[in-house]
Amino acid sequence: MVSKKLTLKNGTRVLFAPVEGTKAVTVLILFPVGSRHESRQLNGSSHFLEHLFFKGTANRPSTLEISKELDGVGAEYNAFTGKDYTGYYVKVSADKLGLALEVLSDMLYNSLFDPAEIERERGVIVEEINMYEDNPMMLLDELFEQLVFNGNSLARRIAGPRSVIRKVRREQLMAYKAKYYTPHNLLLTIAGKFAEREATSLVKKNFDGVRGPRRSSRFVPFHPKQRRPAVEVKFRETEQVQIGLGFPAFGYRDRRLPALTLLSTILGGTMSSRLFINIRERLGLAYFIRSEASIYQDTGTFLVRAGLDKRRLRQALEKIWEELQIVRREGVTDEELSRSREYIKGKIILNLEDSEHIADWVGKQMLLEQKVETPEQKIKKLFSVTAGQVRQVARDVIHKRRLNLALIGPYRQPKDFVALIGKLKEL
């Protein structure tokens, strides 16, 4: 999948991932910095900077100049911020690779960060925060991770609090950028149709002339210390209650991760999963229910999330807990294991149909795991997992003392739910 790895003189790492049968190419740039690298006083700065890189450069002095040039060739482009990383990408027809590289380099190294634009963007980000808070399904993730990662920077919101966004100074943002946005931290991936020699020349032309300090991104690792269940409630006058019930789990390099992925799929990853069939189809307690594993460099979470009828909330929570206890006690069947393997295999294959997803697959693995496995290698690991290993992971993760419950609905106090959790039986 990766045909060549290159390190420029300034420390920038480059990956080439050619794709057969496409006429497109994607350039993805990743930096190993996100909200977990921020201090409380700068929470939201990674996301703020992501916005500002699109606000004009020395060569393209406005957002319009940047977007007109990319829109003019039919490009797809965007950026994203996570807790572990920030990324920027441009997807174009193969003959426009030079433009994609030049525009990204210009944005990253020649952005103006005009004070007037910074002031305008404060309002945009505050409205983005409002949008997330007005959507219970989006807000639930933040509430849940605030519980699980309490006391660690992973608990902080990616977009930050409004108080920081409204007050953080340009000088602080520039210092944060200088600390983390260095050539040494940059990982560049080119995936799709390209000539390797030409791509190498274009990369060197656009990215090798910039110099900067060789700093590594550092964060405080998360060590679970939870000894009793925790509950967080967010009041919303709704008919449907959004719940997130889950536990701390594993990071990218944990050997148990494939088994956790299979467990999550069997429990609530599909419309034929246990939770979907037993909680929604047979009992009618939920419209939406699923389980998922979120993974970070050193840790992760296992979460069951659902939209529930508030009049039957207690029954639903008890039944979800019962399903978790059954899988912990009895494990999974060989048939379930086989179906979940094939499901994940199919999803991997379908997700890697275009250059954008291949760039994401290759780049994030190298950034966060320091290696790149092919789809075939990942699939082989999944197929080597036994039913016994899935059962053991269920026993490793699902513990009442590490249970976290986040709710969004017409409730103001968590005490009633603390009492309910206290009555749940662990098998």
Give yes or no: residues 202 and 332 share one domain: no
In this predicted structure, the answer to whether residue 215 has a pLDDT above a threshold of 90 is no
Give yes or no: residues 321 and 184 share one domain: no
What is the structure's pLDDT at 392?
98
In this predicted structure, the answer to whether residue 153 has a pLDDT above a threshold of 80 is yes
User: What backbone phi and psi angles, to 5 degrees, belong to 112?
Assistant: -85, -35
Give yes or no: residues 184 and 242 share one domain: no
Give yes or no: residues 164 and 286 share one domain: no
DSSP state of 54: T
In this predicted structure, the answer to whether residue 216 has a pLDDT above a threshold of 90 is no
> Quick check: is 125 in a domain?
yes
Query: For 288-336, how does the pLDDT look when each residue is reduced to its tens digit (9 = 90+)?
Result: 999 999 999 999 999 999 999 999 999 999 999 999 999 999 999 999 9
Last residue of some domain: 192, 207, 222?
207
> Given pLDDT bands bounded at 50, 70 and 90, which one contains residue 375?
very high
What is the structure's pLDDT at 416?
84
> Quick check: is 149 in a domain?
yes
Residue 22 tokens, joined: 């496409």
Long-range contacts of 278-282 (CB under 8 A, 24+ apart): 278/319, 278/323, 279/306, 279/316, 279/319, 279/320, 279/323
What's the rounded mean pLDDT across residues 58-73?
Answer: 97
Give yes or no: residues 157 and 264 share one domain: no
∠ CA(171), CA(175), CA(179), 5° rounding? 170
Give yes or no: residues 178 and 260 share one domain: no
Beta strands across the sheet bearing 4-7: 4-7, 13-18, 187-192, 24-31, 86-93, 76-81
Contact 183, 8 (CB under 8 A): yes
Give yes or no: residues 21 and 164 share one domain: yes
Round the average pLDDT of the chain to a whole number and report it.
96
Task: Say how many domains are in the chain.
Answer: 2
Q: Which of 38, 50, 121, 145 is catalytic?
A: 50
Percent of the chain's residues with pLDDT above 70: 100
Give yes or no: residues 200 and 237 share one domain: no
Query: For 71-127, how does the pLDDT look when each residue is reduced to its tens digit (9 = 90+)?
Result: 999 999 999 999 999 999 999 999 999 999 999 999 999 999 999 999 999 999 999
> Given pLDDT bands bounded at 50, 70 and 90, which one contains residue 421?
very high
Last residue of some domain: 162, 192, 207?
207
Residues in Cβ contact with 89 at an 8 Å cutoff, skipping those fewer than 6 apart? 26, 27, 28, 29, 77, 78, 79, 356, 359
Last residue of some domain: 207, 242, 258?
207
> Quick check: is 191 in a domain?
yes
In this predicted structure, the answer to whether residue 212 has a pLDDT above a threshold of 90 is no
Q: How many residues does the chain have?
A: 427
> Given pLDDT bands bounded at 50, 70 and 90, which one contains residue 220?
very high
What is the structure's pLDDT at 98?
98
Give yes or no: residues 158 and 236 share one domain: no
What is the structure's pLDDT at 145?
97
Query: For 257-296, how does the pLDDT look when each residue is reduced to its tens digit (9 = 90+)?
Result: 999 999 999 999 999 999 999 999 999 999 999 999 999 9
What is the structure's pLDDT at 239?
87
> Given pLDDT bands bounded at 50, 70 and 90, which one contains residue 7?
very high
Nearest C-alpha neighbor of 159 from the set 185, 105, 121? 121
What is the structure's pLDDT at 203?
98
Domain that holds residue 386: 230-423
Answer left, alpha or beta for residue 140, where phi above 0 means left and psi between -120 and 50 means alpha: alpha
Query: What is the domain-level CATH number for residue 341?
Result: 3.30.830.10
- Nearest-angstrom CA–CA distance, 17 and 5: 9
Give yes or no: residues 198 and 242 share one domain: no
What is the structure's pLDDT at 213?
82
Residue 117 tokens, joined: 């634009």
- Nearest-angstrom CA–CA distance, 363 and 325: 37
What is the structure's pLDDT at 307?
96
- Nearest-angstrom CA–CA distance, 349 and 46: 32
Contact 266, 322 (CB under 8 A): no
Percent of the chain's residues with pLDDT above 90: 94
Give yes or no: residues 202 and 242 share one domain: no
What is the structure's pLDDT at 394?
98
> Quick check: is 215 in a domain?
no
Q: What is the secondary structure of 262-296 as a DSSP string? A: HHHHHHHTSTTSHHIIIIIIIT--EEEEEEEEEE-
What's the rounded mean pLDDT across residues 222-232?
Answer: 94
What is the structure's pLDDT at 218?
87
Amino acid at 10: N
What is the structure's pLDDT at 206?
97
Torsion of CA 262, 189, 377, 295, to 10 degrees: -20
Give yes or no: residues 200 and 261 share one domain: no
Active-site residue, 50 included: yes
